[in-house]
């Protein structure tokens, strides 16, 4: 949308805090502006359809924050900042939490997710829930990213007939189109990295256990993690400050109290590429000549800023990892979802088998484009005590950790591994499903290690990201490198909502 006149277009957290402090805006007036923009762009105009539900109490929350601000100053580091949450995060309010499924519509969650509690305590204004690939893209083999029965199809704001990737589709699109200041997504494998890359924003998939999953609809506890999605590395780091921390109700976060940083923004060094030792994983190139050329240009700029580039590095192929990863996810999805549903006792569905039956009953609404073969395979799995599950999980971790990221980082003495995040967005196709051309999310996802994607530029008007990933708890190093790259290149551009790619 050329000539976008939105008063807070591309506004950062720091920008919003400045106008609040100056008295030029209040939390209420800022919230009103964002709500009006959602109404204009998301539901009308280009109709990008990234927001599944608005928070009916958003303005009431803003009024309370304004009262607090006048009496005591800001509540916390996100005071008055409008945030959207992926519709898989419990909110104990008048909004639903459904993973995009009609089967989950009913009574709201009884308690806020732990991360939602932290956001509220920090002063964030939760504008609403963002649309997603239904069940976080773990329902069918030939699914369509960004589509849910409850929310419909989210569209890419750069080129509207292109896909937004998923599963955190709405969170990425809303951030890209400035429908919120920041958003929270989740990733099991690629669900933060891919939509962030394809929608021209920054995404952080953190180390597993840095952020609590308590109160988040799961796929698999060995890979699931929430993470920040923002237009800048700085905003993503500020959001990570709030989200990170240990939670007694999520055992995976036990190490977070020792490993998490109190302030990730202190690592944002514009000279952070100087002397950084980066390994180029050519294994993840070669799927698109234009993408290869773009990322090579980015690598040249990194070298120009003083980074030591090791190109190529020998990154293991790990034959059979796709199938092995799926095996683990199938086992864990059944166990974890059934456990989660016990916390939502007011819902009609009590188990994965109930959801499968619901989808069959409501086939015309729930399965107009793709089926539920993944759910059926998951339902057939046994308990997590089975040796098949335990053996495959151990093998996956060994391949992606000891013999994967850790081995490569150690062998070449690297600070981080560099690769293209994804190819450009594909046409949304409800007949044959997604057509993802490439990506590098799997190693860090299966290992449970951190991965940051930053805008790298454009291919035929479509955004592409560059990825930095490394060993467990290396977020400070990755953020330092990502921030320095961002500051030098400034590759992000605002979306123009084109109807199709123009050649």
* Burial 169-204, CB ≥16 within 10 A → b, else e: bbbbbbbbbbbbbbbbbbbbbbbbbbbbbbbbbbbb
Residue 10 to residue 404: CA distance in whole angstroms: 38
Q: Are the CB atoms for 161 and 179 separated by under 8 Å?
A: no
Active site residue 191: yes
Q: 191, 212, 222, 474: which one is catalytic?
A: 191
- Report residue 305: phi and psi, to 5°: -95, 10
Q: Is 168 exposed, middle or buried (0-12, 13-18, 19+ CB in 10 A)?
A: buried
Contact present, 166 and 139 (Cβ < 8 Å): no
- From the list 12, 26, 86, 256, the catalytic residue is 86
Closest CA to 76 of 124, 43, 16, 20: 124
Strand-pair partners of 309: 278
DSSP output for 82-105: EEEEETTB--SSSS---TT-GGG-
d(CA 264, CA 247): 19
Catalytic residue among 143, 148, 167, 212: 167
Residue 366 makes CB contacts below 8 A (sequence gap 6+) with 101, 102, 103, 149, 358, 359
**Contacts with 330 (C-beta within 8 Å, 6 or more apart), sequence order:** 374, 377, 378, 381
CA distance 257 to 210: 9
Among 167, 147, 78, CA closest to 433: 147
List active site positions. 86, 167, 191
């Amino acid at each position: 949308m050329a000539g976008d006149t939105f008063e807070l277009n591309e506004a950062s957290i720091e920008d919003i805090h400045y106008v609040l402090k100056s008295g030029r805006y209040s939390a209420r007036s800022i919230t009103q502006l964002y709500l009006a923009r959602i109404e204009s762009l998301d539901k009308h105009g280009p109709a990008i359809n990234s927001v599944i539900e608005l928070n009916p109490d958003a303005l009431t929350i803003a009024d309370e924050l304004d009262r607090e601000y006048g009496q005591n100053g800001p509540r916390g580091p996100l005071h008055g900042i409008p945030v959207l949450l992926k519709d898989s995060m419990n909110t104990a309010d008048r909004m639903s939490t459904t993973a995009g499924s009609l089967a989950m519509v009913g009574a709201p969650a009884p308690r806020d997710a732990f991360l939602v509690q932290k956001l509220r305590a920090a002063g964030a204004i939760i504008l609403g829930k963002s649309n997603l690939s239904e069940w976080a893209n773990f329902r069918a083999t030939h699914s369509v990213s960004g589509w849910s029965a409850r929310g419909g199809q989210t569209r890419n704001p750069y080129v509207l007939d292109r896909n937004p990737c998923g599963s955190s589709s709405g969170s990425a699109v809303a951030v890209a189109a400035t429908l919120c200041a920041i958003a929270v997504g989740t990733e099991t494998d690629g669900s933060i990295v891919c939509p962030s890359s394809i929608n021209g924003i920054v995404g952080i998939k953190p180390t597993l256990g840095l952020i609590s999953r308590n109160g988040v609809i799961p796929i698999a506890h060995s890979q699931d993690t929430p993470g920040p999605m923002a237009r800048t590395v700085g905003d993503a780091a500020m959001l990570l400050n709030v989200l990170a921390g240990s939670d007694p109700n999520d055992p995976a976060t036990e190490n977070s109290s020792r490993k998490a940083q109190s302030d990730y923004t202190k690592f944002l060094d514009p000279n952070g590429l100087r002397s950084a030792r980066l390994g180029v994983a050519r294994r993840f190139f070669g799927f698109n000549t234009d993408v290869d050329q773009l990322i090579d240009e980015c690598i040249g700029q990194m070298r120009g800023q003083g980074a030591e580039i090791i190109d190529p590095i020998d990154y293991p192929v790990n034959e059979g990892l796709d199938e092995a990863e799926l095996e683990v996810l199938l086992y864990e999805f059944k166990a974890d979802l059934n456990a989660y549903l016990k916390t939502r006792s007011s819902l009609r569905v009590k188990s994965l088998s109930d959801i499968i039956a619901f989808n069959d009953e409501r086939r015309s609404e729930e399965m107009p484009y793709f089926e539920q073969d993944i759910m059926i395979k998951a339902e057939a799995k046994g308990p997590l005590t089975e040796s098949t599950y335990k053996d495959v999980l151990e093998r996956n971790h060994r391949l992606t950790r000891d013999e994967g990221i850790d081995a490569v980082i150690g062998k070449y003495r690297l600070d981080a591994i560099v690769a293209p995040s994804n190819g450009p967005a594909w046409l949304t196709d409800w007949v044959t499903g997604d057509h993802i051309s490439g990506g590098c999310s799997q190693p860090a996802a299966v290992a449970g290690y951190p991965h940051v994607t930053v805008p790298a530029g454009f291919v035929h008007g479509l955004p592409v990201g560059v990825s930095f990933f490394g060993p467990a708890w290396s977020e400070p190093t990755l953020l330092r490198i990502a921030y320095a790259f961002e500051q030098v290149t400034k590759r992000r551009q605002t979306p123009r909502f084109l109807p199709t790619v123009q050649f």
